């Protein structure tokens, strides 16, 4: 089974300078390992947490993660 979590990142851009952004991590619940990570998805932590909660509540398949992220943003 997969569980999703929010991962905070510090990024740097030539135009924007340093900023905080939030990515989505997918974890194997049995092995407690990070399976995959999608970087720099949300600028707002609250939005990232809402997204992760929906994914976990609906037991989103890892195969659909990137499509669901695209649809969400």
Residue 12 structural domain: 2-68
24 belongs to a structural domain: yes
pLDDT at position 22 = 98
73 belongs to a structural domain: no
33-42/17-28 β-pairing: antiparallel
Structure tokens given for 60: 């989103």
7 belongs to a structural domain: yes
pLDDT at position 55 = 96
- 8 Cβ neighbours under 8 A, 6+ residues apart: 20, 21, 22, 45
> DSSP letter at 29?
T
Please determine, for residue 1, whether its predicted confidence score (pLDDT) is greater than 90.
no
Please determine, for residue 58, whether its predicted confidence score (pLDDT) is greater than 90.
yes
| Domain count within the chain | 1
The distance between the two most distant Cα atoms of the chain, rounded to a whole number of Å, is 42
């Amino acid at each position: 089974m997969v569980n999703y979590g929010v991962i905070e990142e510090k990024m740097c851009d030539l135009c924007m300078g340093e900023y905080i952004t939030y990515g989505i991590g997918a974890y194997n619940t049995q092995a407690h390992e990070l399976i995959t990570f999608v970087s720099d998805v949300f600028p707002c932590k609250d939005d990232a947490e809402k997204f992760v909660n929906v994914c976990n509540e609906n037991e989103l398949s890892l195969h659909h993660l990137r499509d669901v992220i695209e649809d969400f943003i």
